[in-house]
Structure formats: C-alpha cells, structure tokens
C-alpha cells in the first residue's frame, strides 16, 4: 500500500474511532489509536475503565471492530495492545 493510501486509510479509521469514543467515555473508558499494520489490523490501546473491564473484549470486538469493518471493509480486525 502506498504511503498516501495508508494515510487516507488511517484518517478514515481515526474518524470512525472519534465517533465511537463518546460511547466509551460515557462508561468511564476510552481508546487511543496506535497504528494500522501492513495487513490492515488496527491496534488500539484501551484506557480508563476499558483497560480493566471484564467486558472490554466484547466491546472491542462486538462494538469497535464491527463498526470499523462496516465503515471500512478493508479493515481485517481491531486488536487491543497494552503500552503500559
């Protein structure tokens, strides 16, 4: 993927994540975009209540990943990574 295409894809992902964040923030959580891998996996860091919530995987896969893949079909999956 060309650099310009990658930047466009990254911007699309960030825009969708910005639309999702208020729902996470209502429950004391949040997420931060980290990167898109070469195979179109989006890595995010779960923050706040999402970082320790036992349902965070359900939220990540059932909510965030489903929404991203619906809006941007090129996305293969969304994974939570722990930077701390």
pLDDT, one tens digit per residue, over 31-49 is: 999 999 999 999 999 998 8
Q: Is the dihedral of CA 61, 35, 68, 48 positive or negative?
A: positive
- Ordered by where they begin, the domains of the chain are 3-80 (3.30.300.130)
- pLDDT one-digit tens code per residue, 65-81: 999 999 999 999 999 98
Helix (H, G, I), strand (E, B) or coil at 80: strand
> Starting at the edge strand that comes first in sequence, how are the strands of the sheet with 41-48 ordered?
29-36, 41-48, 77-80
Confidence of residue 7 (pLDDT cuts 50, 70, 90): very high
Q: Higher-confidence residue: 74 or 84?
A: 74
pLDDT of residue 84: 63
């Amino acid at each position: 993927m060309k650099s310009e295409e990658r930047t466009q894809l990254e911007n699309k992902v960030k825009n969708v994540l910005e639309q999702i964040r208020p729902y996470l923030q209502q429950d004391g959580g949040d997420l931060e975009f980290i990167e898109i891998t070469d195979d179109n996996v989006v890595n995010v860091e779960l923050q706040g209540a999402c970082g320790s919530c036992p349902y965070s995987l359900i939220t990540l896969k059932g909510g965030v990943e489903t929404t991203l893949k619906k809006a941007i079909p090129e996305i293969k999956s969304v994974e939570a990574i722990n930077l701390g």
